[in-house]
Each structure stands twice: as structure tokens, then as C-alpha cells.
């Protein structure tokens, strides 16, 4: 690996290194830099701002704070654009372009001269995309995030995106909230810059990133509008100069041990099921497989401690006031690998000990009095999910965690949209709603469609939850007895594709089982009649790359060729 630094790093290939450096300096001087500035360590900063992305509204201010920190530490900060994506503004889903953003980040970090890079994440897929790219490039890197929004208010009730979005939309669908009021509410759910202020995917990924050691302590929970967010950004910039000098690379921080810490924190905070997919993708970039069985075991050992929606009652600003992730880490400290190296250059143990003492608060429960015993996320297997499925049991109706019911099948997102609210739909409250072809290839992009709405005629009767299962994902802000990430997906010919209306399905979360009560002979007959959706035969562009290379949920839906050790798909 080249030891060149600063402006001499990664010169353009003109066949004459001296000329390459001369030309580079000539053009960068057009930006107004002096020779003194250009002789300093260069710190890249990913600019993830976009006019479509309210979660990243504060990125320009953060960049200025990061630049200040870099310059105070003697470095030269240079920001550069990478893809910006917002969950609500990316068609068909932000997950579809997450890998594209990871490729963008990796290649721009490799292509441009930087001794270290500051990664600015926020809206949920940006954090894993940047970590995936940084893991593959393995240039010294440090993450910070835009931070959660503050809460809003409607008629005196405290509100937050997007758990309350889903709850109130459900009431609107049931006829309890009219058109005028739901429109008024839409202006109060997201009252400022930043990410969803509940334990959604953005909050989850920020917390597990800090737990893995890729973020300075305390950064995950600082609200986007707080001055502390800018101070943390400044400190991140200063630390970036130091990790450049130390050559502290992501591969020295993100490894099997720190991934295990992240998995344990994912369970303890009642984190988003999306965190499972993203951690699996990061693991693949690092050269090892994400262990679903280990996640399940850690869940059995690790209670949910954070009292945040959708598993509890509070919001991220309450976790910030409670001391942030440090308060959680102290409760589960004996369960963590505290010798893991972190971006501070110190161990996780050292970081925890360096934080102020914990104070009285009510957002993080003591381990002796958890929100939920037995982990937030549970692994399921069975003949309907040979490669696994998951359920966020901490956010489900307890009475539905052991359930048998008749399948009501929707063959696609379009089919669900067409028939779900029909008065003629043959459905009852104890049925199991099944959505097919909503996985990595099926939708495509494995959208957050797993939160299948309660059929309107049942919602009007007061039904709040049903067993619902799919090969899709679900927002971390959502709640319910919802089975997700069924693998192999329907579009790849998995057993989910063979479910028919009226089949009996059994869910037993305690036993970790998801079963389709149909004979093997009948399933073989159905399999012989099955054919994949026509749209997976893309002929050009990113779509072709996506369908040719995307893997299943257990591998994080990453592209096979981007893994450190690509899978043989013909074994």
C-alpha cells in the first residue's frame, strides 16, 4: 500500500508523477489554497446534503464545524459530494440505492487524495452505506450523524416521526381522524432538521455505530438543533487529523468483536430490524458472515432497556438528556467486549469510564427492570423461512407471538394496494396477512412494506394488530406482530412464493419457528408451476447490476462482488 500523503496520494495516471502533482496543485490552487495549506494532512468530508433530504438539512452547518476542527488540529478540510438519499423521497426505495451510495463513497475515497475521511450520515441508509464504503476502502475514517429531530405537538400531545405517523395514519384509515386534521398533523410530525426521533433505523444505526467504535462517544443521540451537535462535529474534525497521523483504519475498529457489541446494543435499545440487514452488509465488507444465531442468543441474554417508541414511550432527545448511549453501555457493561479499540484510540472500557457519572433519569431502565426481557429481535426458522426471518418481538402484541391462522395472500405490492381495502376482501382478525414479492429482487429493493396496513374494514372494527409476514423490511418506527426478511424471498423461488390463500401458518416466537402447514408433495407441485417475476430480467444500467448481484437478507442485500469474500452462487 502506498505511503504517499496529502496531495501526493493517489495521483492521476499521466505516466509522469511529477507532472501529475504539478497539474493537481495548479488546479487546486484555483480554489484559493496556499502552499502552506496544501502541505497539511488532507481530510475529506462527505457532503450528503440535498434539497430533498430534510434529515440532512443541517449538514452544511456540520461541515463548517468539522472544517473548524480539522483546521484547529492542523489539517486541510476538503468536502466532496456523495449520493444523498431520504427514505420518503427515493423510488422504489432507498434500500435499492444504498449499495450505489456505498460504491460512490468507496470509489471517491479511493480516487481523491485524502489522509482520512469524515463520514456524515443521517437518514437511515446513509449510515450503513458510508460504513460499507469506508470498510472496503479502508482509509482512516470517522463517522458522525446529523442527529435526531426534536419532537412536535398536536393538541397538547407530543409527536414524533415516524411511529406517530403510522399510528395516526392508522386512525385516519379507521375513520377516527378526518382529512383536514391529518393534513394539519402532517405539518407537526417533523418539526425540524434531523432524523426520526424514535428508535427507527436512523437512531438505531447511529447507536450501533457508536457502539462499534466508529463515532466519538455521545454523538449518536445529540439532537440535530443542539449546539452540542456542532461541538461534536468540531471534535470529529479534530480527531480525523489525528487518525490520519495514526493510520487508524476501519479494519482496526470494525471486526467480529465490535460487531458483536453492536448486535448486543441493537437488542438492548430495542433497535430497528433494518439494523440486522445493514450490519450483515457491513460484516460482508469486512470479510466475515453476520451470525443470525449469535444475534438470537445475544437477544436471549440482553433485555430491552431503552424506553423509546415504538417499544416504549420516550423520544431520542430524552435518551440524550439521560446520558445517551453511555447510560445503556453501563447497564450492559459486563456483557460487552470492553477491550475493543475505538476511533478515540482508546478501548470501549476507557471511553465508558471517561464519561460523566450517570444521573437519575427514566429513559433507560436498569437491567433489573427492563422494558422487555429476552431481546428486541428474534430469529425465526422453519419450512417457510429456511434461511431465516426475524420479528421485532418487543414491539409486537404479546398475544400474537404464538398464533395459528389462515393465510390471506397478496402476490405483490400492487396486488396489496388494489385489494387490501376492498369491502369484498375475505379476511378476519385472526387471519395471517402474507405479502409476496417484496424482497431484495421482488419489489425491488426490499421496501419497508412489511408493515402491511390493517385492512380498512377490520381497522374500522377496532382491530389494531394482526400477524403479518413478508420478505420485505419494516421501518424501525413501526410496530406490530410482523415477520420480516423471510429468506429466500418469493422472487428467488423461496417457499414464501408457494403460499396460497387458506393455507394454515403457525408462528411460535418463543420456539423461533415459522411454519407453513402444507405437505411437501403439494409444495413440490406448486414449485413446478412457479416462475420468477418478469422484472428481474433487467437488460441495462444499475437495474441490471442490481438484479445480477444483489444477495438475500442474511447477507445484508449487498452486491456479491462487493463482499470481501464473494459467495459462490452455484454451490
Band (2; pLDDT cuts 50, 70, 90): low
Contacts of residue 19, defined as CB under 8 A and 6 or more positions apart, other chains included, come to none
| Per-residue pLDDT tens digits for 270-327 | 999 999 999 999 999 999 999 999 999 999 999 999 999 988 899 999 999 999 999 9
Listed by start position, the domains of the chain span: 40-148+195-354, 377-536
- Say what the pLDDT of residue 118 is: 99
pTM equals 0.95
- In the CATH hierarchy, which fold is given to the domain comprising 377-536? Glucose Oxidase; domain 1 (3.50.30)
- DSSP readout, 260-311? HHHHHHHHHTT--THHHHHHHHHHHHHTS---HHHHHHHHHH--B-B-BTTT
- Report how far residue 80's alpha carbon sits from residue 66's, in angstroms, rounded to the nearest whole number: 13
| The three three-digit cell numbers of residue 61, written as one number | 452547518
- Contact in structure between 347 and 337 (CB atoms under 8 Å): no
pLDDT tens digits, 127-169: 999 999 999 999 999 999 999 999 999 999 999 888 888 889 9
> How large is the average pLDDT for residues 56-62?
98
What cell numbers appear for 182 in the block? Answer: 391529518
- Provide the 3-class DSSP secondary structure of residue 219: coil
Q: Does residue 109 carry a pLDDT above 70? A: yes
Residue 571's pLDDT band (boundaries 50, 70, 90)? very low
What mean pLDDT do residues 477-494 have?
A: 94
The mean pLDDT of 507-522, rounded to a whole number, is 97
**Dist CA 324 CA 312 (whole Å):** 16
Amino acid at each position: 500500500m502506498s505511503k504517499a500523503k496529502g496531495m501526493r496520494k493517489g495521483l492521476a495516471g499521466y505516466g509522469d508523477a511529477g507532472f501529475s502533482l504539478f497539474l493537481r496543485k495548479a488546479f487546486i490552487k484555483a480554489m484559493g489554497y496556499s502552499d502552506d495549506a496544501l502541505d497539511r494532512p488532507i481530510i475529506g468530508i462527505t457532503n450528503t446534503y440535498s434539497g430533498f433530504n430534510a434529515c440532512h438539512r443541517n449538514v452544511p452547518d456540520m461541515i463548517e464545524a468539522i472544517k473548524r476542527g480539522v483546521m484547529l488540529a492542523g489539517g486541510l478540510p476538503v468536502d466532496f459530494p456523495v449520493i444523498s438519499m431520504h427514505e420518503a423521497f427515493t423510488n422504489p426505495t432507498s434500500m435499492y440505492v444504498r449499495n450505489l451510495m456505498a460504491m460512490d463513497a468507496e470509489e471517491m475515497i479511493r480516487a481523491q487524495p485524502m489522509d482520512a475521511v469524515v463520514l456524515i450520515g443521517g437518514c437511515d441508509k446513509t449510515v450503513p452505506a458510508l460504513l460499507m464504503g469506508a470498510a472496503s476502502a479502508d482509509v482512516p475514517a470517522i463517522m458522525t450523524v446529523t442527529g435526531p429531530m426534536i419532537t412536535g405537538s398536536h393538541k397538547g400531545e407530543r409527536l414524533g416521526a415516524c411511529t406517530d405517523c403510522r399510528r395516526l395514519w392508522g386512525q385516519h384509515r379507521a375513520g377516527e381522524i378526518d382529512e383536514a386534521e391529518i393534513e394539519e398533523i402532517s405539518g407537526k410530525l417533523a418539526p425540524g432538521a434531523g432524523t426520526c426521533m424514535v428508535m427507527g433505523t436512523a437512531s438505531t444505526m447511529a447507536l450501533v455505530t457508536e457502539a462499534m467504535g466508529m463515532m466519538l462517544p455521545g454523538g449518536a443521540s445529540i439532537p440535530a438543533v443542539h449546539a452540542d451537535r456542532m461541538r461534536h462535529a468540531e471534535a470529529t474534525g479534530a480527531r480525523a487529523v489525528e487518525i490520519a497521523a495514526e493510520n487508524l483504519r476501519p479494519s482496526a475498529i470494525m471486526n467480529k468483536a465490535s460487531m458483536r457489541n453492536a448486535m448486543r446494543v441493537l437488542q438492548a435499545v430495542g433497535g430497528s430490524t433494518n439494523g440486522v440487514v445493514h450490519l450483515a452488509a457491513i460484516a460482508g465488507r469486512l470479510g466475515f458472515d453476520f451470525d443470525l444465531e449469535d444475534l438470537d442468543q445475544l437477544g436471549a441474554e440482553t433485555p430491552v432497556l431503552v424506553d423509546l417508541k415504538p417499544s416504549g414511550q420516550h423520544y431520542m432527545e430524552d435518551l440524550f438528556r439521560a446520558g445517551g448511549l453511555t447510560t445503556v453501555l453501563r447497564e450492559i457493561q459486563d456483557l460487552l467486549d470492553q477491550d475493543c479499540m475505538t476511533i478515540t484510540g482508546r478501548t470501549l472500557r476507557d471511553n465508558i469510564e471517561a464519561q460523566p457519572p450517570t444521573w437519575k433519569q427514566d429513559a433507560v431502565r436498569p437491567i433489573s427492570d427492563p422494558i422487555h426481557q429476552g431481546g428486541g429481535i428474534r430469529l425465526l426458522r422453519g419450512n417457510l423461512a429456511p434461511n431465516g426471518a426475524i420479528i421485532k418481538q418487543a414491539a409486537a402484541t404479546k398475544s400474537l407471538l404464538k398464533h395459528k391462522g389462515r393465510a390471506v395472500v397478496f402476490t405483490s405490492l400492487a396486488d396489496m394496494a388494489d385489494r387490501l381495502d376492498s369491502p369484498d376482501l375475505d379476511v378476519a382478525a385472526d387471519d395471517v396477512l402474507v405479502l409476496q414479492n417484496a424482497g431484495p429482487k421482488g419489489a425491488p429493493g426490499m421496501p419497508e412494506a412489511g408493515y402491511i396496513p390493517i385492512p380498512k374494514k377490520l381497522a374500522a372494527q377496532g382491530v389494531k394488530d394482526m400477524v403479518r409476514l413478508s420478505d420485505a423490511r419494516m421501518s424501525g418506527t413501526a410496530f406490530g406482530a410482523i415477520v420480516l426478511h423471510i429468506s429466500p424471498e418469493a422472487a428467488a423461488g423461496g417457499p414464501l412464493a408457494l403460499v396460497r390463500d387458506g393455507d394454515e401458518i403457525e408462528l411460535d416466537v418463543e420456539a423461533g419457528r415459522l411454519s407453513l402447514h402444507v405437505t411437501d408433495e403439494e409444495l413440490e407441485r406448486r414449485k413446478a408451476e412457479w416462475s420468477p417475476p418478469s422484472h428481474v430480467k433487467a437488460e441495462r444500467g444499475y437495474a441490471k447490476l442490481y438484479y445480477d448481484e444483489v444477495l438475500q437478507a442474511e447477507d445484508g442485500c449487498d452486491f456479491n462482488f462487493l463482499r470481501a469474500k464473494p459467495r459462490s452462487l452455484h454451490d
